[in-house]
Amino acid sequence: MLEKIAKILREYKDDETLQISESTTFEELKLDSLDTAELIMNIEEELDVTIDLDEAIKTVGELIKVIEKSQ
């Protein structure tokens, strides 16, 4: 799952060199709340899942847990 999310993040940021781990925060990736919402929509479409934006998702690892719960 980490590689799928990392691929989506790299495409979104248009930076194939981004180093992404489960502890990477959206702040480190310089994603504001609008970017995060857009990214979540991309992930939902790509992975065919629904993600609850009410959850406080701050890291890639937290995002993965939310996605796994919704599958």
Q: CATH number of the domain that 49 lies in?
A: 1.10.1200.10
pLDDT along the chain (71 residues), means of 10: 95 95 95 89 93 82 91 80
pLDDT at residue 59, as a whole number: 93
- Classify burial at 62, counting beta carbons within 10 Å of its beta carbon; exposed 0-12, middle 13-18, buried 19 or more: middle
Range of the domain at 56: 2-70
pLDDT at residue 48, as a whole number: 93
Q: Which string of DSSP letters, residue by residue, matches 19-59?
A: ---TT-BTTTTT--HHHHHHHHHHHHHHHT----TTS---B
pLDDT at residue 37, as a whole number: 87
Neighbours of 18 (CB within 10 A): 15
How far is residue 38's CA from residue 21's CA, in Å, rounded to a whole number? 20
User: At which residue do the structure tokens 């993040």 appear?
Assistant: 9
pLDDT at residue 53, as a whole number: 73
Number of domains in the chain: 1
